[in-house]
Amino acid sequence: MKIFIDSADVDAIKEAADTGLVDGVTTNPTYIAKSGKNFKKVVEEICKIVPGPVSAEAMAETADGMIKEAVEIASIAPNVVVKIPMNIEGLKAVPVLEKQKNVKTNVTMIFSSTQAFLAMKAGASLVSIVLSRLDAIANESIVLVEDAVTIKQNYGYRSEVLAASMKTQNHVLECLRAGVDIVTIPTQLFFQMYRHTLTDTGLEAFRKDWEKVSGGGKPQS
């Protein structure tokens, strides 16, 4: 399963990318607005840090407008993937972008299995299911994720299933069990995944024992 960092904070993305375990990045207008930087500049900076896909959002409301805007966004860097909304105009734009314009698309704001199916059928490279928003209204988001994986497998669609907006490690674990292709997570959650109380206490015990047997010397760095 691929890990995408969900952020437009260039410093935080670089810190996570330095681990060697980050496969891509997703952004949105809210994140970029918080950065206080120009949209194009932020995307350029992120694309230099992460060689994998970097999703940036098209905001036009018509298919023609989305196509034009998406081509412009994709020209920022070779690894840009353009986020397209899950609606009729968006799915009109997807096959044109994918097949004629050579622009990879990420259909976003998917909240039902049939929406996921339509996005796959349209030929989107990525199909984004936003888990946290479903959980907030008491819908079982993991059921939708499992359905999307099943639809992909049943019909051989090439789209990658992306589970977006992870908030907990349990979300990540559920996606691993479901066979999701990609998860998007904030940097805070990414680094939480490294940690466990038993790991910390175990390593601390080893450190103390090492000091005893090494005459107080520290392990070589």
Residue 218, domain member (yes or no): no
In Å, how far from its chain's centre is CA 78?
A: 17
pLDDT of 138 = 55
Tell me what the pLDDT averaged over the chain comes to: 93
- Mean pLDDT value across residues 171-197: 95
Count CB-CB contacts under 10 A for residue 167.
15
Confidence of residue 6 (pLDDT cuts 50, 70, 90): very high
Q: At what angle are helices 141-155 and 113-122 packed, to 10 degrees?
A: 40
Query: Which amino acid appears at position 114 of this protein?
Result: T
Q: What is the mean pLDDT of residues 149-169?
A: 95
86 neighbors 47 (Cβ within 8 angstroms): no
Its domain, for residue 182, covers: 2-213
* 83 is a catalytic site residue: yes
**Three-class secondary structure of residue 212 per DSSP:** helix
pLDDT of residue 216: 61
Identify the sign of the CA torsion 111, 145, 27, 72.
Answer: negative
The answer to whether residue 220 sits within a structural domain is: no
Indicate whether 155 belongs to any domain.
Answer: yes
39-78 as b/e, with b when 16 or more CB fall inside 10 Å? beebbebbbebbebbbbbbbebeebeebbebbbebbebbe
Residues in the chain: 221
pLDDT at 36: 85
Alpha helices by DSSP H, 28-140: 29-35, 39-49, 63-74, 88-95, 113-122, 131-136
Task: Kindly report the CATH number assigned to the domain that includes residue 182.
Answer: 3.20.20.70
Q: Buried b vs exposed e over 178-211: b needs ≥16 C-beta within 10 Å?
A: bebbbbbbbbebbeeeeeeeeeeeeeeeeeeeee
Average pLDDT over residues 114-139: 88
Q: State how far Cα 105 lies from the chain centre.
A: 13
Q: How many domains would you assign to the chain?
A: 1
Q: Which of 48, 68, 83, 208 is catalytic?
A: 83
Model confidence at 114: pLDDT above 60: yes
Q: Is residue 39 part of a domain?
A: yes
Q: What Rg do the C-alpha atoms of the chain give, in angstroms?
A: 20
Q: Which of 59-68, 71-80, 128-137, 189-198 has the lowest mean pLDDT?
A: 128-137
Q: Is residue 221 part of a domain?
A: no
CA neighbor of 11 nearest in space, from 42, 39, 38: 42
For residue 126, pLDDT over 90 is answered with yes
Share of the chain above pLDDT 90, in %: 79
Do residues 178 and 148 make contact, with C-beta atoms less than 8 angstroms apart?
no
Residue range 53-60: mean pLDDT, rounded: 95
Query: What was the pLDDT predicted at 132?
Result: 75
Residue 219 lies in a domain: no
pLDDT for position 45 = 95
pLDDT digits (tens, 9 = 90+) for 62-110: 999 999 999 999 999 999 999 999 999 999 999 999 999 999 999 999 9
